[in-house]
Amino acid sequence: MSTWITICDTCKTESWDAASGRTDGEALAALIEPAAAARGVKTRRVSCLMGCKQGCNVAIQGADKLNYTLGRFEPTAEAAEAIADYAALHQESATGQVPFRQWPQGVKGHFVTRHPPLPSEDA
């Protein structure tokens, strides 16, 4: 089952440079997209994940898996690689849970919420 990285493309960090011509979220998305594609992970952009005060924000989601929101990222290649690495591990996991010892260093301290999978319709 595919893991998706949903990237907020309207996030701005406190150090956002308005003269850059794009938001920090757009900059981070542009870095995550090729890194995720190289790992077989899907991406999409949305405008606002409602975590604006702690941007940049992304969600890591897969059907019937634990899903997560992560924030407080700067739009750097290191952050994008860590997010893509974590998403690839999430995709490999049957439940979406990734053992802490496997977490890329760059995602530690960035988890904001965890969403358990919905019960099946038959439950």
Interface positions with ligand FES (CB under 6 A):
8, 10-11, 25, 48-52, 55, 57
User: 10 vs 76, which CB is nearer to ligand FES?
Assistant: 10
In whole angstroms, the minimum distance from the beta carbon of 40 to ligand FES comes to 26
CB of 11 or CB of 89, closer to ligand FES: 11
Q: Find the shortest distance in angstroms from Cβ 96 to ligand FES.
A: 21
Q: Which tokens hold the place of 117?
A: 């999978």
Token digits for 11?
């996030």
Q: Which string of DSSP letters, residue by residue, matches 17-83?
A: -GGGSS-HHHHHHHHHHHHHHHTT-EEEEES--S-GGG-S-EEEE-TTS-EEEE----S-HHHHHHH
For residues 39 and 45, which CB has a smaller minimum distance to ligand FES in the complex? Answer: 45
Q: Could you tell me the smallest distance in angstroms from the CB atom of residue 14 to ligand FES?
A: 13
Nearest CA-CA partner of 6 in 35, 37, 40, 49: 49
Q: Give the residue with the Cβ less far from ligand FES, 55 or 98.
A: 55
Write out the H or E segment, with its range, that includes residue 100. none
Closest separation in Å from C-beta 52 to ligand FES: 3
